[in-house]
Structure 1
Amino acid sequence: MARFLHMQPGKTEGKYIPVITNQRVDGQCWELEEGGIMHDTVTPAAEVRLQSQLNAVQEAQASMQESQSITDQAVQDLIITTMGGAV
């Protein structure tokens, strides 16, 4: 039996809830198979939104990595300063 994933509008505007059903739903709908998506029927507008969200996630990850590098360097500088002051 085929299973389908579609996005149902949530209570908050612009938010969606993933729903899995046994029937195909008009609009954004993905046919599922064991281990993943078999047939993708994303609308062009949804694809643009998904790509935009992916870009935002990638930018956030890059910012987090940069922040972690800055924090690591600050900790190293503090250790060196503390050890240098103690000697």
Structure 2
Amino acid sequence: MANHKSAIKRIKQTVKRTERNKHDRSNLRTFIKRVREAVAAKDQAAAQAALASAIPVIDGAATKGIIHTSNASRNVSRLTKLVNTLA
């Protein structure tokens, strides 16, 4: 266990940050899954709507450092490509 006041504070901060990041990462995966499910159901309108709502979530996760910028870019690119296969 930490002995210094500052170390105890850092542990508390880390726990709080980890919980927040876990929630955001889970939310990100949910939005990506919604796009993939709409494409699997061959529902073009729903897929485009899901993609439009997923892109800001993906970009936000990259901005917050939850995922790498390249990872976000790759996800957006692949999902867009996937949705365009329905057209």
* TM-score of Structure 1 vs Structure 2, range by shorter chain: 0.3 to 0.5
Q: Larger helix proportion, structure 1 or 2?
A: 2
TM-score (norm 1): 0.43
Larger radius of gyration: 1
Structure of greater relative contact order (alpha carbons < 8 Å, 6+ residues apart):
2
